[in-house]
């Protein structure tokens, strides 16, 4: 195990191969590695397999842009800023993306098993539902559970009876170990120690479960500074492989203590990308029409970004108007 | 607080206000509540300011018992962890809290419901012929499966209150036993993991509860609506024999708390 | 779920019934609820079942004092201050205590399953050893796996084949949910939020896994203070049932940022209690011969305690002489 | 550092110094090391100051890559977390790090060893007729089962190097397959969980390694001892055909690091 290597966004993205399985940091519209998802589209990656506890803007972009073949997850949307994932909805209905549904508890369990090197996680959550309907196993229906893809388990789940306390039957959910963990974290130390400044979501399990981990951060800080409070850190340097420095990489999703979610941007995305034509226009403007992330930021402009900038007291912006009053 | 505990009159409150107030009344003091974004946040915020001051809220993003000074718009929001007792992640929320058995009360919405309180939050159509996709389960299936009580918040429409769901995202009182898919009582699938189920369903027209057999019945009708109105907006044969009268309107005090304390920015309340 | 109740050490201890299953906070000689273990002996509790990831001074005292019938755990000793648990060694050889051996990984897994309401935890750690020898299952050999005690699983473990990725056979270890968690934590908030100031060991899982939890603390602090850093807290008020305020409750084990381990005390205990007679003399002097914890502290004296007091910069004492140079 | 890289002469170092130095030489730069209290701490501390500056240490208590300014006397010690990259608990150490596959190197001791590197750290006698109890496994069995390489540190005595252990606490290269208890290669029990096994055994007399069949052989003999001395202190038929000569003594520089940097208080080194 070594120390992570600092590379560019382009270099990092170029290592991802068509067909790879990806997992992401963050939660719905917070701390998503958006800049890298834009770059994945620019580099024309195809047939990706996304494993998501829940999706958000970043994966709606990947799905809308045609990079995704298989989506496994429990939820897709952008909270109150877009109650359904319109791109996934369209592509699933069209048969362009294979979907396999989980509950949050199932997805969390699968990732946490992958994180600790177990082949499965037991759970009794969400039993008795169509999530477990064998006829609705989207991956099996696509003929993908034949053992040929190491990232796809041979069964969606099995059941087992508790042999110890007669609790009854419960589920074993297969672990998941994606090829790549794309993790946005605000701060990474000079030796690779990772710090986030709020709830940790599933970020730690994504880091441990994935074969290789790219952390895209706002800034590199002295490791010594992060080590003053070891209970606050998310990961050690040897758990991550590559570091990309890219300020505002999570925009339009939020990063606690750096910037708030860009609600206008998300709302407008959700409204305008209900059709493929709408998505293509969005992508032309914000992804293909800009050379790189710096040009994207210039396009957003200082005024917009400064409005989103988080207060160092509360961790979120006090400059955005959020409600009707 | 200057407003009184008198009930507001019809016209002095909006449908959403009554939903929030009815939700708040379902919260017992001391309850550990697992809730999502939106109306549940209003209901719990109101309850914490009135009838259930020590109710504590677990959000899926991983914050526990936060005391936001600005209304969160997401359960993963930076605002959720202000003065929280803990901030962890989803493993903590779903396993450390929910699977562990700490959660007394869940608050959920859905696109469709059947008379046993099963919810669909995933499809128009089915995964085999998907016409449209909603968000999917998220924590919906998990919370309904493991919370001791769950309050379901729905829009009252005939097509949403349906005899049989095309897709069951979340388990009510009668659930599908696999591999056959036959409906059996929830207890038959959950064994000793069984903790409870849906306790109430609150809509913009009425409040429903569930009987000994897990079947939905009409409890109270909101001011301005009749039992007939409700029956006409339910797609299955609704038991109205237990109807106990009219839903109590919000009090002036409750409205003041909602608009001035819980959602002063008007994020959820227009 | 409610808010924890503040009670006395005597009241808390009196709720523990003969035969109950107990688990403890801490690690070997750190953060152990020693004052309550002394009081358990004073109140004459018998036939206790200890589940310990690893034991230490506190459980050596309970075993030596004859309060324990069954010890399940992976390790007993006091680190370099007493390399074996002399009391458990003696009592096991005499047939006075039933012992069932686990590895650290097994015990950690069992507790973490109990903490999240699962009946078992899968693991591939420590396979192929006599820990899993069916002939050495101490609990089965004592006839205690008949299902009559809800705290004792019907099997020590079972095996299962990975159905998903062909990883091979692994273990399912039964969960454990002891009746009582006796937890020492330095700080508890006015609403019951629990803070420790170092590694968390298994403390969080002990709190979640046990039916009832007693937290014995140095001091009660404003909850608002602890809530300024929610990522630093160990537990919520509704997860614990009773609070006992008892400064120096962990002595002679250490409490980071409050006091260091009392190495002289531990060394002398380990040397002098190799025989039952030696233990009885120790117990007469420090447990039965003092009325309560205050008298115990007076007996130790200000000079001794002040030497152990931790630096507020480093979290440990700079006044104790530890080595030979 | 003023001391030289020349080797110290017999009489200028103590047996414990050589054990620590030989241990340090087993650490590769960048290794993630899972270690216990005592001699392993000295070995890793020395390695981090010399041949393996980016080796990182996981302690069972839950600290990762700590940089103590005072030598810890316990892996749960307050001293362990100073400038650590993380401080968690045993779940993190045993599952998040060890079971997850991050650990390159373990450092363990034991009371008895057999020629396959199985260790006994639990009993004189067996659980059925216990004459005396040692500490038990703790993390010993776990670390030996899952670390890619493990260095075993032992006292060289005939009764401790035994043909067959009465009790196997920790798995070497041939382990017991249950329910029969027959010895089989470790790989046969661990399947795809297999990551490695014991790589070296260091005693106060010699260094041993393990061959293709997982059997122990003599690698080097410490200065002042002969191959015959070693054979006389091993209870099984020892393969000495691969002996490569004498163990290199500590350098002056290594001794200076050990006594002035790693254990200046004399906690482990007298």
DSSP string, B136-165: --TTHHHHHHH-SEEEEE----GGGB-SS-
For B87, the closest of C3, C230, C235 (CB atoms) is C230
To test the contact with chain A by mutation, choose from B117, B136, B182, B259 the residue with the greatest count of A C-beta atoms within 10 A, namely B136
pLDDT at B208: 98
Give the chain A residue nearest B118 (alpha carbons).
A129
Give B176's strand partners.
B183
Per-position pLDDT tens, chain C of length 325: 578 999 999 999 999 999 999 999 999 999 999 999 999 999 999 999 999 999 999 999 999 999 999 999 999 999 888 889 999 999 999 999 999 999 999 999 999 999 999 999 999 999 999 999 999 999 999 999 999 999 999 999 999 999 999 999 999 999 999 999 999 999 999 999 999 999 999 999 999 999 999 999 999 999 999 999 999 999 999 999 999 999 999 999 999 999 999 999 999 999 999 999 999 999 999 999 999 999 999 999 999 999 999 999 999 999 998 888 8
Candidates A157, A49, A168; CA nearest to A106 is: A157
State residue D52 phi and psi, 5-degree precision.
Answer: -140, 65
CB pairs under 8 A between C and D: 246
Predicted complex ipTM: 0.97
Burial of A255 (0-12, 13-18, 19+ CB in 10 A): buried
Residue B214 lies in a domain: yes
Rg over alpha carbons for chain A, rounded to the nearest Å, is 20
Q: Given an 8 Å threshold on Cβ–Cβ distance, is C233 in contact with B86?
A: yes
Range of the domain at A207: 5-306
Q: Are C41 and C68 in contact (CB under 8 A)?
A: no
Min distance B153 CA to chain C CA atoms (Å): 24
**Rounded to whole angstroms, how far apart are CA atoms D12 and C317?**
34
Residue A174 lies in a domain: yes
Residue C59 lies in a domain: yes
Residue A319 lies in a domain: no
pTM for the structure as a whole: 0.97
State residue B137 phi and psi, 5-degree precision.
Answer: -65, -50
Chain D positions in Cβ-Cβ contact with residue C254 (cut-off 8 Å): 77-78
Q: Three-class SS of residue A66?
A: coil
Instruction: Say yes or no to pLDDT of D1 above 60.
Output: no
Residue D216 lies in a domain: yes
**Rounded to whole angstroms, how far apart are CA atoms A211 and A200?**
20
Q: Given an 8 Å threshold on Cβ–Cβ distance, is A263 in contact with B73?
A: yes
Q: What is the average per-residue pLDDT within D216-235?
A: 98
**Is there a catalytic annotation at residue D166?**
no
To test the contact with chain A by mutation, choose from B60, B79, B90 the residue with the greatest count of A C-beta atoms within 10 A, namely B90
Residue D268 lies in a domain: no
Range of the domain at D168: 15-262
Give the orientation angle of helix D39-49 with respect to helix D15-25, to 10 degrees.
60
Which chains border A (3 or more CB–CB pairs < 8 Å)? B, C, D
Q: Are B262 and A320 in contact (CB under 8 A)?
A: no
Is beta strand D105-109 parallel, antiparallel or unpaired with respect to D149-153?
Answer: parallel
Residue A316 lies in a domain: no
**Rounded to whole angstroms, how far apart are CA atoms D27 and D52?**
6
Rg over alpha carbons for chain B, rounded to the nearest Å, is 18
Tally of CB atoms within 10 A around A303? 7
- Number of domains present in the structure of chain C: 1
Residue D1 lies in a domain: no
Structural tokens at position D104: 């390159």
**CATH code where residue B215 lies:** 3.40.1080.10
**Rounded to whole angstroms, how far apart are CA atoms D121 and D110?**
5
Of the listed B60, B112, B157, B212, which one is catalytic? B60
Give the orientation angle of helix A57-64 with respect to helix A86-93, to 10 degrees.
40
Rg over alpha carbons for chain C, rounded to the nearest Å, is 20
Give the chain A residue nearest B39 (alpha carbons).
A80
Min distance B180 CA to chain A CA atoms (Å): 9
Candidates C25, C81, C83; CA nearest to C58 is: C25
For A238, the closest of D32, D84, D193 (CB atoms) is D32
Residue C312 lies in a domain: no
B14 contact A CB<8A:
no
pLDDT in tens, B16-75: 999 999 999 999 999 999 988 889 999 999 999 999 999 999 999 999 999 999 999 889
**Rounded to whole angstroms, how far apart are CA atoms D139 and D119?**
12
**CATH code where residue C230 lies:** 3.40.1080.10
Burial of C219 (0-12, 13-18, 19+ CB in 10 A): exposed
Residue C317 lies in a domain: no
Q: Given an 8 Å threshold on Cβ–Cβ distance, is C164 in contact with A174?
A: yes
Render the burial of B144-153: b for 16+ CB within 10 Å, e for the rest.
bbbbbbbbbb
Residue A320 lies in a domain: no
Sheet holding A158-161, edge to edge: A120-123, A169-174, A158-161
Chain C positions in Cβ-Cβ contact with residue A153 (cut-off 8 Å): 164-165
- Number of domains present in the structure of chain B: 1
Residue A314 lies in a domain: no
pLDDT at B2: 64
DSSP string, B170-231: B--SEEEETTTTEEEEHHHHHGGG---EEEEEE-SSEEEEE-TTS-EEEEEE-TT--HHHHH
Q: Given an 8 Å threshold on Cβ–Cβ distance, is B77 in contact with A314?
A: no
């Amino acid at each position: 195990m070594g120390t992570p290597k600092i590379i560019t966004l382009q270099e990092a993205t170029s290592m991802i191969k068509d067909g790879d399985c990806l997992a992401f940091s963050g939660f719905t519209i917070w701390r998503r590695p958006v800049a890298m998802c834009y770059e994945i589209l620019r580099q024309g990656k195809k047939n990706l397999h996304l494993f998501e506890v829940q999706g958000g803007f970043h994966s709606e972009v990947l799905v809308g842009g045609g990079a995704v073949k298989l989506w496994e997850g429990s939820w897709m949307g952008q909270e109150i800023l877009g109650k359904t994932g319109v791109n996934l909805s369209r592509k699933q209905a069209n048969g362009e993306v294979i979907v396999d549904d989980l509950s949050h508890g199932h997805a969390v369990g699968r990732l946490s098993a992958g994180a600790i090197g177990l082949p499965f996680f037991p759970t009794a959550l969400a039993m008795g539902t169509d999530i477990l309907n064998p006829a609705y196993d989207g991956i099996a229906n696509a003929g993908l559970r034949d053992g040929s893809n190491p990232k796809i388990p041979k069964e969606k789940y099995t059941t087992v009876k508790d042999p110890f306390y007669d609790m009854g039957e419960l589920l074993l959910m297969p672990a998941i170990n994606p090829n790549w963990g794309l993790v946005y974290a605000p701060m990474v130390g000079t030796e690779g120690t990772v710090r986030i400044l709020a709830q940790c979501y599933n970020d730690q399990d994504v880091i441990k479960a994935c074969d290789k981990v790219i952390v895209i951060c706002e800034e590199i800080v002295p490791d010594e500074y992060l080590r003053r409070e070891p209970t606050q850190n998310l990961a050690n340097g040897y758990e991550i492989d590559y570091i990309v420095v890219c300020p505002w990489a999570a925009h339009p999703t939020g990063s606690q203590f750096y910037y708030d979610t860009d609600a206008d941007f998300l709302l407008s995305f959700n409204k305008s990308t209900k059709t493929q034509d709408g998505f293509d226009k969005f992508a032309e403007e914000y992804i293909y029409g800009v050379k790189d992330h710096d040009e994207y930021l210039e396009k957003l402009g200082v005024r917009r970004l400064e409005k989103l900038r988080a207060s160092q007291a509360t961790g979120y912006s006090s400059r955005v108007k959020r409600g009707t009053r | 607080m200057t407003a009184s505990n008198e009930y507001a009159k019809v016209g002095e409150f909006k449908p959403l206000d009554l939903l929030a107030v009815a939700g708040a009344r379902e919260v017992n003091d001391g309850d550990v509540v697992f809730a999502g974004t939106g109306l549940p946040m209003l209901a719990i915020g109101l309850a914490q300011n009135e009838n259930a001051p020590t109710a504590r809220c677990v959000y899926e993003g991983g914050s526990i018992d936060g005391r936001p000074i600005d209304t969160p718009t997401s359960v993963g929001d930076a605002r959720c962890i202000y003065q929280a007792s803990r901030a962890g992640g989803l493993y903590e929320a779903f396993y450390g809290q929910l699977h562990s058995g700490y959660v007394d009360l869940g608050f959920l919405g859905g696109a469709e419901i059947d008379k046993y309180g099963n919810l669909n939050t995933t499809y128009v159509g089915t995964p085999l012929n998907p016409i449209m996709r909603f968000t999917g389960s998220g924590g919906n299936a998990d919370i309904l499966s493991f919370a001791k009580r769950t309050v379901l918040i729905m829009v009252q429409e005939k097509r949403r209150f349906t005899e049989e769901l095309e897709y069951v995202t979340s388990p009510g009182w009668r659930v599908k036993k696999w591999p056959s898919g036959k409906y059996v009582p929830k207890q038959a699938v959950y064994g000793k993991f069984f903790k409870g189920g849906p306790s109430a369903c609150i809509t913009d027209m009425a409040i429903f509860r569930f009987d000994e057999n897990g079947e939905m019945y009409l409890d109270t009708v909101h001011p301005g609506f009749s039992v007939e109105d409700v029956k006409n907006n339910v797609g299955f044969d609704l038991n109205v024999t237990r109807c106990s009268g009219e839903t109590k309107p919000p009090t002036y005090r409750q409205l003041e708390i909602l608009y001035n304390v819980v959602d002063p920015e008007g994020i959820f309340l227009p």
